[in-house]
Copies of this chain bind each other. A is one copy, B any other.
Amino acid sequence: MPSYKAPLRDYRFILNEVLNVQNYANLAGFADATPDTIDAILDGAAQLAEEVLQPLNLSGDQEGCTRHPDGSVTTPKGFKDAYKLFTDGGWGALTSDPDFGGQGMPAVLGSCFSEIVSAANMAFVMYPGLSHGAYSAIHVHGTDEQRQTYLPKIVEGVWTGTMNLTEPNCGTDLGLMRTRAEPQADGSYKISGTKIFISAGEHDMSENIIHLVLAKISGPDTPAGIKGVSLFIVPKFMVEKDGSLGARNGVSCGSIEHKMGIHGNATCVLNYDGATGFLIGEAHKGMRAMFTMMNEARLGVAIQGLSQSEVAYQNAVNYAKDRLQGRSLTGPKFPEKPADPIIVHPDIRRVLMNIKAFNEGARALMLWTSLHGDLAHKSDDAKARELGEDVMGILTPVLKGYLTDKGYANATDAQQVYGGHGYIAEWGAEQFVRDARIAMIYEGANGIQALDLVGRKLASNGGRAIFAWFKIVDDAIAAGGDETVKPFIDGLTTVRKQLEEATTWLMNNGLSNPDNAGAGSMDYLYLFGLCGLAFSWTEMAKVAAAKAGADAFYANKLTTGRYFIERMLPDAAAHLAKLKTGAAPLMALDMEAF
């Protein structure tokens, strides 16, 4: 049976020793995040994940969700009780605004929590995860009345939320949207249309569901295309003045999708038949409202990729230590056993080291980026807020694309460690692959992340964010280190040059022919990801080198990091070479020749 242990030592190392979060006590929430509190939160999260959520992961996948003829949806056995434990523990409130019942903890701590619980049960965690998306939309764009009406219940978890963007004919290109909002005399709207792929769209775990819905207001004033899209709040049950629940609104679940993975989450077709909705934010500015939530949501998906990589790794390690097949190429290592455990074989090691070195580097980069999210929102210093926004802006597509692509590839490699057993459902390895797969697609498919990176984030504010990134890397290089740190500095220096060469190539060739930017976008994203991990490994190596005698943890950290530099960074040169071939090789063939 699959299992999971939260990598608590790794979080403490990154938070307390690498990022030194205690230095940010001037930011809201950080003063409360003392090392003791962080420990207590991480321990509690680990217990919830290991004892409540993980044991429901395989059974939730096998049972899936059931839609009944009346349109109601039942979640897998145990999910409802687990959700009660989740909300009773206040976990949905961890990073939410104290004004609405939240605990106001830093986002960087919320990111640790997200990885832990997603690793244990990704399908389950999407229910409260989507609630947090709805929370953010209402928190940032809602009126005071809307915030008072919806936020306390969502933060408490007795209501959940959803995000409704996709329609059968439009996903990436939301300008093609057909869902309509008819203005009513009382200021509300009647929403009509069909939304698809709505995660957590209908279920049995909460008293109400608050749908955030993109639609176009009917009428001559609505601009065509993407500029005419507005955002609406559509509650499943109407909310009365006193906060009690009223009539059932005109939104219903038409079907649930049969899909590759995340079977424990109900992916719904939602039919809006003149449902009552309330405009949130300005009319026709719905996309702007969505964009403010997008970095946070995309970082959340990046964390899902990492989470599946981590749980897949842990289980593959357990199998590789347990499974006896063959003998070490250099002679028996366990002569008293009928065969050696397969972890003695170099190619098994290669797979495990690839994943381990990725997970630890990606975790540090992801938390470093989350910390910049805190700075962007909470710093008193305008320069720090700007830097925080720039880092979040440029690293978000990188993390979303790189961590989810690698998360899936790593889950696949981990599955391979099991041989034939990896293909069999009861071992759980194939579920990690199927669950990880969705993270590459939703919240903007990874190709869209790459376009966002090269088409938008590179150029915005005259390239301020990418220059800030190079400055950060240059500072890390300039700070230097001893002989132990030198290989890391050298690797980072090399990949930094490659990233700069790629950036310059895109700037020189992407304007004259935008297809050149598109053609190189995914290789650029991967190259950036490698540079990002080289940076986070360098920062970790500096700390570990200084403490290497203290504890095997630090020596192992250095060994793992050196593996990344030696065996994983060589991919950067291939990405650069491909990028520099430009658009011609891709666009040369006539459409009919495919």
Q: Which residues of A contact B (CB under 8 A)?
A: 62, 166, 169-173, 175-176, 196-197, 257-261, 317, 320-321, 324-326, 329-330, 338-339, 341, 343-353, 356, 408, 412, 415-416, 419-420, 422-426, 430, 433-434, 437-438, 440-442, 445-447, 450-451, 455, 513-515, 517-519, 521-522, 552, 556, 559-560, 562-563, 566-567, 570-571, 573-574, 577-578, 581, 583, 585-591, 593-594
Contact = CB atoms under 8 A, between A and B. Distances in A.
B585 A430 contact: no
B346 A519 contact: yes
Nearest to A556: B593
Contacts of A591: 321, 341, 343-344
Given A329-B514, A408-B412, A416-B445, 14 more contacts: A171-B325, A171-B420, A173-B325, A257-B425, A259-B424, A260-B425, A321-B591, A329-B515, A330-B513, A347-B451, A349-B587, A419-B445, A556-B589, A563-B586
A309 to B, nearest CB: 14
A432 B489 CA distance: 43
A577 B344 CA distance: 23
A574 B352 CA distance: 19
Contact of A425 (B258, B352, B578, B587): B258
Contacts of A586: 346, 349-350, 353, 563, 567
B593 A566 contact: no
A562 to B, nearest CB: 6
Contact of A259 (B343, B423, B583, B588): B423
B594 A424 contact: no
Given A419-B441, A563-B586, A573-B574, A347 B447 contact: yes
Contacts of A330: 513-515
Specify which of A170, A425, A514, A519 lies most central, judged by the most chain B CB atoms within 10 Å of its CB: A519
Given A166-B420, A416-B445, A574-B573, A567 B585 contact: yes
A450 to B, nearest CB: 6
Nearest to A589: B559
Contacts of A169: 324
Contacts of A455: 329
A7 to B, nearest CB: 12
Contacts of A420: 166, 171, 196-197, 441-442
A98 to B, nearest CB: 36
Question: Which 6 residue pairs across A and B have the least CB separation, nearest first?
Answer: A346-B518, A329-B514, A570-B577, A173-B325, A260-B430, A346-B519
Contacts of A447: 345, 347-348, 351, 416
A321 B594 contact: yes
A42 B329 CA distance: 46
A438 B594 CA distance: 27
A232 to B, nearest CB: 21
Contacts of A349: 519, 586-587
A325 B176 contact: yes
26 contacts: A166-B420, A170-B325, A172-B326, A173-B339, A175-B339, A176-B338, A196-B420, A257-B424, A258-B425, A259-B425, A259-B430, A260-B423, A344-B591, A345-B447, A346-B519, A346-B586, A347-B450, A349-B587, A352-B594, A416-B446, A419-B441, A559-B593, A563-B586, A567-B578, A567-B581, A573-B574
A591 B560 CA distance: 13
Nearest to A316: B594
Contacts of A259: 423-425, 430
A522 to B, nearest CB: 6
A440 B424 contact: no
A570 B562 contact: no
Contact of A581 (B317, B416, B566, B578): B566
A513 to B, nearest CB: 7
Contacts of A166: 420
A321, A420, A517, A566: which has the most chain B beta carbons within 10 Å?
Answer: A420
A353 B589 contact: yes
B171 A426 contact: no
B583 A346 contact: yes
A440 to B, nearest CB: 6
Listed residue (A175, A258, A441, A517) with the most chain B CB atoms within 10 angstroms of its CB: A441
B172 A419 contact: yes
Contact of A423 (B321, B326, B348, B438): B438
A454 to B, nearest CB: 10
User: For A349, A563, A578, which residue has the most chain B Cβ atoms within 10 angstroms?
Assistant: A349
Most-contacted residue by chain B among A170, A426, A581, A585 (CB, 10 A) = A585
A455 B351 CA distance: 19
A184 B329 CA distance: 39
A435 to B, nearest CB: 11
A521 B329 CA distance: 13
Contacts of A513: 330
Nearest to A446: B416
B416 A329 contact: no
Contacts of A519: 346-347, 349-350
